[in-house]
Structure 1
Amino acid sequence: MIKKESSVRERIWEIDVLRGILVIIMVVLHILFDLEFVYNIPIGYGTGFIDKIRIVVATLFIMVSGISTAFSKNSFKRGVVVLSAALLISFVTFIVGREYFISFGVLHLIGLCMIVSPFLKKNSDSFAFNIEFDYWNDSICHSLCRSFPQLFFHVWVLQ
């Protein structure tokens, strides 16, 4: 009997585990942010160890999202959903108070990159370096596309 190749790709459990860990850490960081800036409990959110963890976790989350987008069949549609959620968060934070307003955050960046990534995949021949994009190279390209703006923002603008 001839085996048919499955068109369904297996999930990469390492990426799923890393994403889950990063989401848990991000939830903890958001709780710490609220404690510091909403409830006025001085925990040193913007300084020291917590600040370094925040930068590393945000960057890793963006990179893992880029890698995951390379395996997605519908990243444009998902990007529209993520960007819509980010814009809703921006709207709510604008209504709540200007001091909490989120004009452009991690979700905005991920949503925009997810919307752009299908066009990058489609037009991969137009890159300066003509690289044959397999899944590994493609995921690295999208991860770096997402990471460098965020790294630049964190390192040069916020520091």
Structure 2
Amino acid sequence: MKYRKFQLLMSKYGFSLSIMLLELCLVFGLFLYLGRMAPILWVILLIFMSMATIVAIVNRSMAPESKVMWLVVTFVPVIGPLLYLMFGERRLSKKEIKQLDKLGSMHFREDNSKALRQKLKEEDKAAYGVIKSLLSMDSNADVYNRTDSQFFSSGESMWQYML
């Protein structure tokens, strides 16, 4: 049992958590020491750190609801800016950026949608109009050939067809 606890502590998550707790203890110790030695210096440092964090959050491009949440967290003295510094900015590693670029360059399907739309335009203008209006609603949609669909007015008729 003790070996499992030691193994959990030495895993990358346990090690990261213990390092973060150690860092928080050191920072709190520094703030307490500064609070006793020079209270005005501590207050100035606290205000400067909070203002710098607020400016960093406001200038960052992120979703507005995330900005508001981080701004609320920042107003908690000492802990707020430290939490933002530890967890607020997620940067991708070079390996992750390469993987995303590789995924973006991959083609997952054959793109013959334009030729099919042109053929449909020549053969059936009414169907082409319906397809065009549907495609304007969803830019990720495509047209495929050799497909079939059937409309069922009720679930019972669909069930009979499936049986």
Give the structure-2-normalised TM-score: 0.30
Which protein, 1 or 2, shows the higher relative CO under an 8 Å CA cutoff with sep ≥ 6? 1
Mark the structure with the bigger radius of gyration. 2
